[in-house]
Amino acid sequence: NHPALAARTAVVTGAASGMGAATARLLAAGGARVALLARRTDRLDALAAELTAAGGQALAVTADVTDQASVDAAAKAVHHAYGRVDLVVNNAGVMLPNPLSAARLDEWTRMIDTNLTGALRVIRAFTPDLTAVAAEGRTADLVNVSSIASHVLFPDYAVYGATKAALTQLSAALRTELGPCDVRVSTIEPGLTDTELPGHIDNPELREQLGAMFTAIPALAAEDIADLVAYTVSRPRHVNLRQSIVLPTRQA
Ligand code: NDP
């Protein structure tokens, strides 16, 4: 157990794979109780079983962050099982690149609804917990997983970058409301990381282009991001590591 994680109750969205699953593993290994949220129930059940078998505490909660009723039901399930949470990792996201000329309103809507409005739904559901916990003198964290794409411009990734820039801005702005309540807000901005994220790209050329980047640059592992999240939330309570960019060493 980790002294700063052992007594904590976490919600991790996008816990079915990649960074979310790795973060849930590390938090659970540190002794935190972890609610695992995503759409793929089978993945969540398998992860919860793995974490429990390893001596940790985990709860699989099927949830779609684009669906308000689903987020409401998930919050209810988490509260029923664990009571208030003190650590929220907003990690669920999709990346669907295409040129503007493809005019993919379906993809734009899905990215905005998942990466931005989805994060807001989760913030709306659990921020009252964070402020209540902080008012009792305990550590409370909101961690938002944004991207280097919120700073660096990539052709064909305009809308994805826009959702991440919005999330980074949202995090910074929320600090002005939550910081004075002793709730930390942290933004994590990873570069190229080896996960399932590219699997949803439906443009073969862009899928290949991204594949070539993974071949050219040794990417980060999902565990590298989990490590940064765990570090961020285990600082002393008065220390808010508010924004971290983490890149593979070879990524320009
Ligand atoms: P993955 O695709 O492996 O993970 C994304 C997770 O989000 C999955 O567990 C998925 O589970 C979940 N998810 C997607 N849509 C929804 C939804 N509507 N409701 C609930 N959960 C959802 O990729 P990563 O681990 O890479 O992605 C994690 C975050 O990191 C994302 O926000 C991504 O934008 C960001 N990021 C990734 C980078 C990279 O290079 N990989 C770089 C910078 C940032 P399910 O499908 O079961 O719902």
Rounded to whole angstroms, how far apart are CA atoms 110 and 97? Answer: 12
| Residue nearest to ligand 1 atom 2, measured at CA | 197
Mean pLDDT of the chain: 98
List pLDDT tens digits, range 55-83. Answer: 999 999 999 999 999 999 999 999 999 99
Which CATH number is 197's domain given? 3.40.50.720
Say if 252 falls within a structural domain. Answer: no
**ipTM of this predicted structure:** 0.99
| Number of compact structural domains in the chain | 1
Which residues does ligand 1 sit against, CB inside 6 Å? 13-14, 16-20, 38-40, 43, 63-66, 91-95, 114, 118, 145, 147, 190, 192-193, 195-197, 222
Pocket test for ligand 1, best of 39, 121, 194 (most atoms within 8 A of CB): 39
243: amino acid identity, one letter: Q
Query: What angle, 0 to 180 degrees and rounded to 10, lies between the N-to-C axes of helices 222-233 and 18-29?
Result: 50
Closest ligand 1 atom, residue 20 Cα: 25
Instruction: Give CA angle at 212 (206, 218), nearest 5°.
Output: 130
Domain that residue 31 falls in: 9-246
Closest ligand 1 atom, residue 93 Cα: 32
> Hey, what long-range contacts does 46-52 have (CB within 8 A, 24 or more apart)?
47/15, 47/16, 47/21, 50/25, 51/24, 51/25
List pLDDT tens digits, range 222-240. Answer: 999 999 999 999 999 999 9
Name the token pair of 103.
């005019």
Say if 46 falls within a structural domain. Answer: yes
Say if 1 falls within a structural domain. Answer: no
